[in-house]
Structures are given as C-alpha cells and as structure tokens.
Amino acid sequence: MSAGALRYYFTSQSELLAFSMRLVSERVRERVEAIPPSIPPLEGVKRCLLELLPLTDETKKEMEVWLVFTQRALWDPALQPLSEQIYHQLRTAMKRMLELLRDLGLLRSDVSIELETERLYALVDGLAMHGIMQSGKLSPSKIEEIIEYHLRSICR
C-alpha cells in the first residue's frame, strides 16, 4: 500500500499495527485449523507450536509484525487490549495442548499443567524472538529440533 492509502485506511500507526496483528492471528489460526486431526497427537501439538515460529519467509514476516506490535503495546494504551487478548488466546491454546497430552496419557505425571503452560509459552516466545533477531544462527531446523526436544522431555 502507498503511504496515501495507509493514511486513508488507518488514522494512526496503532490502527495499522492492530489490523496487522489481527491479520497475523487469523492466518496462524487458519494454518493450525488446517492441521489434520488424524495425525498423532504429539505431532499435532508440535505442528501447532511450529506455526507460531519464524520458520518460513511468511512466518518470519508475521513474527516481525508480532515483535513490533508487542513492543508498541508496552506503552500504547490503544493496543493493550488486543495485546492482552492475543496473550490470553495463545496461553489458553498452549494449556489446552498440554491438557490434551495429559488426557491421552502422553504427558509425564509429574508435569504441572500451570507451570508447563508458562514454560512452554516462554520457550515459544524466546524461539520466536531469537528466530527473528538471530536468524542466521538459529535455523528453522534447529527451532524444530528444540520444540521436539522439549516435547519429548515432558512426555512419556
């Protein structure tokens, strides 16, 4: 879009960032929903988590939007409700993935759902950040390997 078009559609940078973040969220949701339910549950959880990470040019751009949005939401009150909504949705999704693994008897019995939800969220956030900031040092295959390693560490 041209700068003129941006001014026409969005009255502020905050509006543009909110629109962009909603678009990113929708795209991630669509990709997650497209994961076949017939695949093994642990593989499904892994694939869901990988959709949140910068593994392709498309997802790198999405994560860049996430990074700019998150930074701006720290001080822009107009973005804070959407930031909270996205945080809640992601945290809930991660908790549900862990509950699914538990309910299927795949999660180790000593794993705390509440603590693991926070740890998994922190791991995904950290990998997203490093995947953007250090893309030359943290390859998509290494990110996938880290997710697999983590899931194996909490599962039977």
CATH assignment at residue 37: 1.10.357.10
Amino acid 41: pLDDT: 96
Instruction: Please say whether the dihedral angle defined by the alpha carbons of residues 6, 9, 11 and 15, taken in this order, is positive or negative.
Output: negative
Q: How confident is the model at residue 10 (pLDDT cuts 50, 70, 90)?
A: confident
Using 50, 70 and 90 to split pLDDT, how confident is the model at 53?
A: very high
8 — phi, psi (to 5°)? Answer: -70, -45
pLDDT beyond 50 at 42: yes
Q: Is residue 6 part of a domain?
A: no
Q: Give the model's confidence band at 11: pLDDT under 50 very low, under 70 low, under 90 confident, else very high.
A: confident
Q: What is the pLDDT of residue 5?
A: 52
For residue 119, count CB atoms less than 10 angstroms from its CB and return exposed for 0-12, middle for 13-18, buried for 19 or more: middle
Any domain includes 7? no
The answer to whether residue 4 sits within a structural domain is no
100 in any annotated domain = yes
CA torsion 74→63→118→29, rounded to 10°? 110
Q: Which two tokens stand for residue 46?
A: 């892994």
Give 3 or 129, the one with higher predicted confidence. 129
Tokens 């959709």 map to which residue?
A: 51
Q: Judge contact between 45 and 96, C-beta under 8 A.
A: no
pTM reported for the whole predicted model:
0.90
Do the domain assignments include residue 136?
yes
Residue 108 placed within a domain: yes
| Contact by Cβ (8 Å): 1, 10 | no
Q: In this structure, what is the dihedral angle of CA atoms 114, 116, 117, 123, given to the nearest 10 degrees?
A: 150
Nearest-CA neighbor of 78 among 148, 147, 11, 152?
Answer: 11
Q: What is the pLDDT of residue 94?
A: 97
Instruction: Please tell me the number of Cα atoms within 13 Å of 47 on its side-chain side.
Output: 16
Q: Is residue 102 part of a domain?
A: yes
Res 1: pLDDT: 47
Q: What is the pLDDT of residue 8?
A: 62
- Range of the structural domain that residue 51 is part of: 12-153
Total domains present in the chain: 1
85 close to 130: Cβ distance less than 8 angstroms: no
Query: Which residue has better confidence, 74 or 9?
Result: 74
Classify residue 3: in a domain, yes or no: no
Instruction: Tell me: pLDDT of 82 over 70.
Output: yes
Confidence category of residue 6, pLDDT binned at 50, 70, 90: low
